[in-house]
Amino acid sequence: MWAELSALLLGGGLAAYVGRPLFAWARERNEQSPPAAASDERKLQVYEALRDLEYDWRMHKISAGDYRKLKRSLTREALEVLSERERRGAGV
């Protein structure tokens, strides 16, 4: 369980480190974009994280307990993003 979680975190950290310069343009665009665009970007990030979590679960890369905790956390975050978008009037 710990080995899988460690490998997942290490792989994610390595991917973020290597990919950071590749996506600098998106970060720059986000800094100049309106709140609705930032909300759209965050929504996509959360959905992608949920998709990756499901894939890792199906490939038996994470334990059931870790899956449940991460799924609950990401689902809560997705609901917060959608609620914020609705409050701003951006629609769902």
pLDDT digits (tens, 9 = 90+) for 19-76: 566 566 566 655 555 666 677 888 889 899 999 999 999 999 999 999 999 999 999 9
Distance between CA atoms of residues 20 and 27, nearest Å: 9
Specify the pLDDT at position 92: 45
Specify the pLDDT at position 39: 74
Phi-psi region for residue 91, left (φ > 0), alpha (ψ -120 to 50) or beta? Answer: left
Domain coordinates in residue numbering, the chain: 2-88
Q: What is the pTM of this model?
A: 0.55
Specify the pLDDT at position 66: 93
Q: Which residues contact 39 (CB under 8 A, 6 or more apart)?
A: 81, 84, 85, 88, 90
